[in-house]
Amino acid sequence: MYIIRNGAKIVIKFVKNMNITLIGMAGVGKSFIGKHLAERLNCTFVDIDEVIEKKTSLTLQQIIDTHGEEEFLKIEERAILRLNGFNNSIISPGGSIIYSKKAMDF
């Protein structure tokens, strides 16, 4: 714990007014790690999947089934780009973020 606590203090100096985005395949634990990392670093945690589900009142699978995967990817991209101005946050996008150059560049 000592190393993690000191490491967190060092990391927070570098991420102040910046974001950390966790990239990985679906199911690898981005949300789990992100929540704990945000707590350790005293940052805001943003789970893009939860943001999309809350905004649309649909599950991700319902969006894909109803509107198709291409539309879902557009919705995901818009949700990520709306984070402009967020600072000091840990962001957990869906695994499909890699299919959007705009979102990856963001």
For the residues 12-33, what does the mean pLDDT come to?
A: 81
62-106 pLDDT, tens per residue?
999 999 999 999 999 999 999 888 888 999 998 887 777 777 777
> Domains in the chain, start-ordered, CATH in brackets?
2-105 (3.40.50.300)
Question: How buried is 43 (Cβ within 10 angstroms: 0-12 exposed, 13-18 middle, 19+ buried)?
Answer: buried
Confidence bin at 1 (pLDDT 50/70/90): very low
- Least reliable range by pLDDT among 14-23, 44-53, 78-87: 14-23
The pLDDT of residue 99 is 74
3-state secondary structure the chain: CHHHHHHHHHHHHHHCCCEEECCCCCCCCHHHHHHHHHHHHCCEEEEHHHHHHHHHCCCHHHHHHHHCHHHHHHHHHHHHHCCCCCCCEEEECCHHHHHCHHHHHC
Cβ atoms < 10 Å from Cβ of 12: 14
Q: What is the mean pLDDT of residues 42-59?
A: 95
pTM: 0.77
